[in-house]
Amino acid sequence: SLFRLKDLEVAELGDSDVRVKMLAAPINPADINMIQGTYAIVSPLPAVGGNEGVGEVLEVGRRVAALKPGDRVIPAVTGLGTWRTWGVFPEETLLKVPSDIPVLSAATLSVNPCTAYRMLADFETLAPGDSVIQNAANSGVGQAVIQIAKASGIKTINVVRDRPDLPKLVERLMALGADHVITEEMLRKPEMKDIFKSIPKPRLALNCVGGKSTTEMLRHLQPKGTMVTYGGMAKQPVMVPVSAFIFRDVRLRGFWMTQWRKDHAEDQESLGSMMDTLCQLIQSGQLAAPACTEVPLQDYKAALEATMKPFVSSKQILLL
């Protein structure tokens, strides 16, 4: 196993540092890829896992102005190492969030909802009534896309893999505000035409799978539409028919939240307005945490195993 539970000395508090008691931290597939060394960022070892989570400020260094004891904070950077009970972090690596947000919502805020928000905002100018198509619609990002789109009046067509408990999953996604939930097989069927009687063809497709389902999804994109790839769960390339480029001039783009954060490190306004919007959606009940299973830290092995299983519809959250 790549993981061990270890007792570490908590570092001294520097002038610009913040001492944090971690409350909860999810296990995301990217966290595990990072530790396996198959991700674009490799942490120097030994390292603490976890890129996301929420904590409470216990103590601040004398130069820290924006945070005070009792504040709730989430990571502002990738690779913070959130799977721990306590930590001392530089002030600029943390973002304050409202204390009245549920712990699980705050713990799962900095990666998936931010990714969903940026992809909906940054590639196509979508107006109420427009539509978006996405695969892996039951993923953390997928669930956030459904809810953020719904709050903006944007329709979603949500593609999921066929599975034993499909009706239950469809019901859950519809309850979040999905307009249509279909299986990968249905993408190829003539019945797709029925969907487009009531809503326009999508201008934006969000892909985190790759392989055949992505090619099929692309067929339903409007001319000059954009497909954004942010993951590759099928571990297969994205195949695009030449005709889609020539006759429909589709655009293929990529998105990685870590890169966006790097590019906007000096741009506090973009980050601030995104976080404000997401926090308001949470406070108004329009953006819920994904389905979660809470696991005490000492049971971390079971949580890691559960994260790697196929058709997982619950995010494992370590309680610290």
Place of tokens 């709730």: 72
Our answer to whether residue 39 is catalytic in this structure is: yes
Query: Considering 39, 117, 230, 300, which one is annotated as catalytic?
Result: 39
Amino acid at position 205, single letter = A
Beta strand 54-60 pairing with 72-75? antiparallel
Please say whether the beta carbons of 292 and 104 come within 8 A: yes
Q: Which of 158, 160, 145, 96 is nearest to 287 (CA)?
A: 145
Please say whether the beta carbons of 126 and 152 come within 8 A: yes
Q: Which of 290, 228, 292, 283 is nearest to 260 (CA)?
A: 228
Q: What is the sign of the dihedral through the CA atoms of 47, 101, 173 and 153?
A: negative
Alpha-carbon dihedral of residues 121, 51, 89, 96, nearest 10 degrees?
40
Active site residues: 39
